Amino acid sequence: MYILGIETSCDETAVSVLEIVNNKVTVLSNIISSQLAIHKKYGGVVPELAARKHTENIIPIIDEAIKTASQNLNKIQNPKFKIQNYIDAVAVTSGPGLVTSLMVGVETAKTLAWSWQVPLIPVNHLDGHISANFIPHDREEIKKIKFPALCLLVSGGHTELVLMQKIGDYKIIGETQDDAVGEAFDKIAKMIGVEYPGGPNVARLAQQGKKGVFKLPRPMIATDDFDFSLSGLKSAVHRIIFVQKKLSLIDKKNICAEFQQAVIDVLIKKTILAGEKNRVKTIMIAGGVSANIELRTQLAEKIKQDLPKVDFLIPDLKYCTDNGTMIAMAGYLKYQKKMKPYNLEAIEINPNLSVTAHKP
Ligand code: KG4
Ligand code: ZN
């Protein structure tokens, strides 16, 4: 089957086409139009501008995703194949996210599903991030997961430890009490004068800096729950800036290195603790911050050392931050469960949708 995935929950207009035959997946297109240049000057995403840009972008990006998918298929089979005549289902992010941005994706997806007369599958954005872990290499089978599994979900808006009994049966066993990890990276970046988006830029500076030159706390590292708190790190960095008065580039690099390590230490400690206590067979990470190389490497090493029997999954780097492929993948998994066809009118956006709301 062919499934088209649409993602517009924040500042990326993203559309993908997946081919799935006998459980084997080929990503025929993965088109992402980022609004980074627009929001950069404001130091964060401006919701109204984001929605306006999605409205401008959505049709051209769908066209491009369809065109690229057709071209990729034409290389391997029928040269006259027009994929838009063969799409079997449309999947779209229906929440959580920015309300007006979600609207653009969902209303467009409804129109497509209606005109193509195919089912429309609403997808939870967080479920999409988790599903990025199941995307195999092209023409390979969807990755099989040993359950129970644990997902460290770290994005710009969420920081959660999700216990998974099976696909779609998710429970949040720990979460941040204040800022999300991505949000903390973005805020620290702003404080020390590093361009938006903070995550990748702080990670890049951290690579050139030295941990321990400035000392930062590891909030809640010793508590035996699975919760996190990141806002205290902001105050600690604030104090460093206050004492230093002016930050040199070396200072900035050293702050980034220590900040990144403080966050990673807490994330790893709680993930291992939750994995042990719940006797999970698989640990995975998801969300934009799962693109952080240090987090990926250090967590992999720690699991190998402390939980050698546990499988560790990480999404391919291109599927860590927002994209349409993860939405198409999550949509397919719901579709495969043979749920009732969705009534287009009943599909609603929910800006506060929880990861636990996904029921196949
Ligand atoms: O999942 P995502 O693309 O959007 C949301 O659903 O929120 O995550 C975006 C977040 C941003 O806060 C960004 O700064 C962070 O992920 N991020 C990173 C890295 N790449 C993106 N944080 C740390 N290191 C990275 N390499
Ligand atoms: Zn996201």
pLDDT confidence of residue 211? 97
- Residue 189 CA: which ligand 1 atom is closest? 14
- State yes or no: pLDDT of 238 exceeds 60: yes
Percent of the chain with pLDDT over 90: 87
Distances (CA, A) of 359 to 120, 152, 310, 333, 346: 16, 19, 26, 11, 16
pLDDT confidence of residue 340? 62
Tell how far the Cα of 46 is from the centroid of ligand 1, in angstroms. Answer: 16
- State yes or no: pLDDT of 192 exceeds 80: yes
Phi, psi of 209 (to 5 degrees): -100, 180
- Does the beta carbon of 287 lie inside 6 Å of ligand 1? yes
Please name the residue whose Cα sits nearest to atom 7 of ligand 1: 156
Tell how far the Cα of 189 is from the centroid of ligand 2, in angstroms. Answer: 19
pLDDT tens readout for residues 280-289: 999 999 999 9
Q: Which of 39, 321, 327 to mutate to test the pocket of ligand 1 (most atoms within 8 A of CB)?
A: 321
Please name the residue whose Cα sits nearest to atom 18 of ligand 1: 199
Question: Which whole number is the average pLDDT over 208-216?
Answer: 97
Residues 165/154, Cβ–Cβ less than 8 Å: no
> Rounded distance, CA 169 to CA 162, Å?
10
Q: Minimum-distance ligand to the CA of 44? A: 1
Tell how far the Cα of 79 is from the centroid of ligand 2, in angstroms. Answer: 35
- Does the beta carbon of 155 lie inside 6 Å of ligand 1? yes
pLDDT confidence of residue 360? 45
Residues 4/112, Cβ–Cβ less than 8 Å: yes
pLDDT tens readout for residues 116-171: 999 999 999 999 999 999 999 999 999 999 999 999 999 999 999 999 999 999 99
Tell how far the Cα of 51 is from the centroid of ligand 2, in angstroms. Answer: 16
Tell how far the Cα of 197 is from the centroid of ligand 1, in angstroms. Answer: 8
Of 164, 146, 169, 134, nearest to 24 by C-alpha is 134
Tell how far the Cα of 156 is from the centroid of ligand 2, in angstroms. Answer: 7
Tell how far the Cα of 244 is from the centroid of ligand 2, in angstroms. Answer: 35
> Rounded distance, CA 227 to CA 270, Å?
8
Residues 196/44, Cβ–Cβ less than 8 Å: yes
CA 338, chain centre distance (Å): 25
pLDDT confidence of residue 18? 97
Tell how far the Cα of 151 is from the centroid of ligand 2, in angstroms. Answer: 14
- Which of the two residues, 71 and 274, has the higher pLDDT score? 274
Tell how far the Cα of 246 is from the centroid of ligand 1, in angstroms. Answer: 27
| Mean pLDDT over the full length of the chain | 94
Of 233, 227, 93, nearest to 159 by C-alpha is 227
Percent of the chain as helix, strand, coil, to the nearest 5: 50, 20, 30
What type of residue sits at position 242? F
Please name the residue whose Cα sits nearest to atom 14 of ligand 1: 199
- Does the beta carbon of 203 lie inside 6 Å of ligand 1? yes
- State yes or no: pLDDT of 10 exceeds 90: yes
pTM, full prediction? 0.95
- Does the beta carbon of 7 lie inside 6 Å of ligand 1? no
- Does the beta carbon of 315 lie inside 6 Å of ligand 1? no
- Does the beta carbon of 157 lie inside 6 Å of ligand 1? yes
- Does the beta carbon of 101 lie inside 6 Å of ligand 1? no
- Residue 287 CA: which ligand 1 atom is closest? 1
pLDDT tens readout for residues 293-302: 999 999 999 9
- Does the beta carbon of 97 lie inside 6 Å of ligand 1? no
Question: Which whole number is the average pLDDT over 334-357?
Answer: 85
- Does the beta carbon of 128 lie inside 6 Å of ligand 1? no
- Which of the two residues, 214 and 344, has the higher pLDDT score? 214
Q: What is the DSSP string of 173-201?
A: EEEBSS--HHHHHHHHHHHHT-PSSHHHH
Residues 228/219, Cβ–Cβ less than 8 Å: yes
- Does the beta carbon of 290 lie inside 6 Å of ligand 1? no
> Three-state DSSP class for 61?
helix
